[in-house]
Amino acid sequence: MTTSPSLIVFHGTFIHLPRLPAEPATPSTPPKHVLEIRRGALWVRTVDGRIEGFEWGVEGEEELGALMGRMGWREEGRQGDNDDDDNDTEGVRVRIVRGRKGRNGFFFPGFVDTHIHAPQYPNSGIFGSSTLLDWLKTYTFPLESSFSSSPSSPTTPPPIAHNVYNRVVRRTLAHGTTCAAYFATIHVPATNLLADICHTRGQRALIGRVCMDNPSTCPDHYIDSSPSSSLAATRATIAHITTLDPSHTLLKPIITPRFAPSCTPPLLSSLGALAAETSPPTHIQTHISENTSEVSLVARLFPSHDSYTHVYDSAGLLTRRTVLAHAIHLSASEREIIASRGAGVAHCPVSNSAIGSGLCEVRELLDSGISVGLGTDVSGGYSSSLMEVVRQTCLVSRLVAYRAHEEGGGKGSVEGGADRRKISVEEALWLATRGGAKVLDMEGEIGGFEKGMWWDAMYVELTGEEDEGEQEEGGRLGNVEVFGWESREEWIAKWVWCGDDRNVKAVWVGGRIVHGRVERDL
């Protein structure tokens, strides 16, 4: 009988971002001491997928052998290892995953997508010249409503849900997204299917059935019939997710009022109460202040409230487990409320630029003490790659800095000059990993390489001079070109700006491989 090894030992280069840089980048100096780059070995317990330890400086095979001797490990499949006779052989059986030589490869924490609409995936790239409110009506509601079950088989998810949800989970894993906070649709069977697919494919996920019951703003054919039916349907998906994963290790429910304009006040309040039934509260996600017309609409629909933020706050929807998507047009007092509740923001610059919602000032959010992660916002965002979001986070921050320069230092609360508004490559990668973990209240669990964290990670390879020949045929190695004189920081910058899923060779969630592979000992 074959038994699994007790540990998986990863050997190679490890890069992560231990902290957000205290000092911002200056125009010509990149921020320092932000990327932690180590060569060595890191080992993960197969029983729970958590990092048990690491030792840096373990350069080559000889040092690795010495470490194994010290630790009392024996490599599976090597001489002295015998699956059938496990108890008779001394030492702990380990599997070794070696980063390939000469490929400029490294292990990196998996990306955390704090905002993605799974059912909208087929519309990626289809948005014309629309802005939020007409985009919803023209492109989004018709697609989402097609995820309803047929009347003759009301508990069976429709074929489109199988097709789309399998594709989006597979694709985001291929981009290195190891954890995602998904908006589904209002349909319980299809939402539960999304949970099943994440469970099967092994993606860490928060799964939210969308709640929307306001007949003045929702389409007739795509609406919860009442607050109580919306609540009951939400409870049904929470129950399904809990049956699938009782400890909520891989899958968590997330309460999902679409956004204030879609929901009646009674629904908002009952969802806030539902979240508070558990301690810590159940996660919550919604949209806020994405578009100026939307902000005006909220003011009209909720005339007794001081602000958009106050609508959510008064319903008990702002907790340290709340994810607010977009948050572009907040006032200072709104930022203060959000910070005091510990709620986080999903920054979605790809979507914000694509449907012309505006330029979100991330530095202002961070300076206000708000946690910020990144979100693809498929399909307001056209890309399911969080790396595209990393890029656009940097780009948009440079346009924000430009605007602030034009305005003589810029409006708002950012101190230290316009250039402080720029988000560096390293900061954006921090937001994509640690930042997202914090927004999802999973700090200390994912987002880096620390003892006790889950091994949610990817193995990245950049091309090198030696790949010249292969590069010629079809570019399967991607667009990163390494010339050999780059620093490690420049390596990472090239990955960020020129990389894509071709560079993501393998992905693990909780120690389980969920995409690709690393060839051993090439």
Alpha carbon distance 117, 507 (integer Å):
22
Q: What is the closest distance, in whole angstroms, from the C-beta atom of residue 25 to its own copies in the complex?
A: 4
Q: What is the closest distance, in whole angstroms, from the C-beta atom of residue 278 to its own copies in the complex?
A: 37
Alpha carbon distance 411, 137 (integer Å):
34
Instruction: Give the residue with the Cβ less far from its own copies, 30 or 53.
Output: 30
* Bridge pairing between strands 457-461 and 177-183: unpaired
Instruction: Give the residue with the Cβ less far from its own copies, 16 or 494.
Output: 494
Q: What is the closest distance, in whole angstroms, from the C-beta atom of residue 98 to its own copies in the complex?
A: 19
Number of residues in contact with its own copies under rule CB under 8 A: 71
End-to-end CA distance of the chain: 29
Selected from 357, 368, 376, 433, the binder of its own copies by CB under 8 A is 357
Which positions from 174 through 193 interact with its own copies, judged by CB under 8 A?
174
Q: What is the closest distance, in whole angstroms, from the C-beta atom of residue 61 to its own copies in the complex?
A: 27
* The two structure tokens encoding residue 278: 């558990």
- Judged by CB under 8 A, does residue 55 bind its own copies? no
DSSP string covering 337-380:
HHHHHT-EEEE-HHHHHHTT-----HHHHHHTT-EEEE---BTT
- Judged by CB under 8 A, does residue 363 bind its own copies? no
Phi, psi dihedral angles at 470 (to 5 degrees): -60, -40
Q: What is the closest distance, in whole angstroms, from the C-beta atom of residue 160 to its own copies in the complex?
A: 9
Instruction: Give the residue with the Cβ less far from its own copies, 385 or 433.
Output: 385
Phi, psi dihedral angles at 86 (to 5 degrees): -60, -40
Identity at 119, one-letter amino acid code? P
- Judged by CB under 8 A, does residue 159 bind its own copies? no
DSSP H helical ranges for 175-226? 188-201
Selected from 1, 2, 29, 87, the binder of its own copies by CB under 8 A is 29
Using the contact rule CB under 8 A, the part of the chain among 8-16, 219-227, 317-325, 390-398 near its own copies is 390-398
Q: What is the closest distance, in whole angstroms, from the C-beta atom of residue 342 to its own copies in the complex?
A: 30
Which positions from 287 through 326 interact with its own copies, judged by CB under 8 A?
292
Selected from 50, 100, 162, 170, the binder of its own copies by CB under 8 A is 170
Which positions from 401 through 460 interact with its own copies, judged by CB under 8 A?
401-402, 405-406, 419, 422, 424
Using the contact rule CB under 8 A, the part of the chain among 9-17, 218-226, 229-237, 474-482 near its own copies is 474-482
The CA-atom distances, in angstroms, between 135 and each of 130, 201, 256 are 5, 31, 20
Instruction: Give the residue with the Cβ less far from its own copies, 406 or 415.
Output: 406
Alpha carbon distance 179, 50 (integer Å):
15
- Judged by CB under 8 A, does residue 285 bind its own copies? no
- Judged by CB under 8 A, does residue 100 bind its own copies? no
For tokens 């979240």, the residue is 275
- Judged by CB under 8 A, does residue 162 bind its own copies? no
* Bridge pairing between strands 111-117 and 177-183: parallel
DSSP string covering 74-142:
EETTSTT--GGGGGGS-SEEEEEEEPPTTS-EEEEEPEEEEEEEGGGGGGTT--TT--HHHHIIIIIHH
* The two structure tokens encoding residue 156: 């069976």
Alpha carbon distance 446, 443 (integer Å):
6
Which positions from 369 through 388 interact with its own copies, judged by CB under 8 A?
382-385
Q: What is the closest distance, in whole angstroms, from the C-beta atom of residue 43 to its own copies in the complex?
A: 27
Instruction: Give the residue with the Cβ less far from its own copies, 171 or 235.
Output: 171
* Bridge pairing between strands 51-56 and 36-45: antiparallel
Q: What is the closest distance, in whole angstroms, from the C-beta atom of residue 111 to its own copies in the complex?
A: 15
Q: What is the closest distance, in whole angstroms, from the C-beta atom of residue 288 to its own copies in the complex?
A: 18
Instruction: Give the residue with the Cβ less far from its own copies, 35 or 442.
Output: 35
- DSSP assigned state of 502: G
For tokens 């230290």, the residue is 416
Which positions from 118 through 147 interact with its own copies, judged by CB under 8 A?
121-122, 124-131, 134, 137-138
Which positions from 203 through 242 interact with its own copies, judged by CB under 8 A?
none
6-36 burial, b at 16+ Cβ within 10 Å, e below that, comes to bbbbbbbbbbbbeebbeebbeeeebbeebbe
Alpha carbon distance 119, 147 (integer Å):
8
Instruction: Give the residue with the Cβ less far from its own copies, 211 or 492.
Output: 492
Selected from 17, 354, 457, 514, the binder of its own copies by CB under 8 A is 354
Using the contact rule CB under 8 A, the part of the chain among 1-9, 21-29, 335-343, 448-456 near its own copies is 21-29
Which positions from 500 through 519 interact with its own copies, judged by CB under 8 A?
500-502, 516
Using the contact rule CB under 8 A, the part of the chain among 38-46, 97-105, 261-269, 498-506 near its own copies is 498-506
Instruction: Give the residue with the Cβ less far from its own copies, 29 or 304.
Output: 29
Alpha carbon distance 212, 258 (integer Å):
6
Selected from 27, 80, 151, 408, the binder of its own copies by CB under 8 A is 27
Q: What is the closest distance, in whole angstroms, from the C-beta atom of residue 377 to its own copies in the complex?
A: 13
Selected from 395, 412, 443, 512, the binder of its own copies by CB under 8 A is 395
> Which stretches does DSSP call E strand in 202-319?
204-208, 210-211, 251-257, 283-288
Instruction: Give the residue with the Cβ less far from its own copies, 75 or 361.
Output: 361
* The two structure tokens encoding residue 290: 């994405």
For tokens 């949800």, the residue is 165
Selected from 37, 71, 244, 359, the binder of its own copies by CB under 8 A is 359
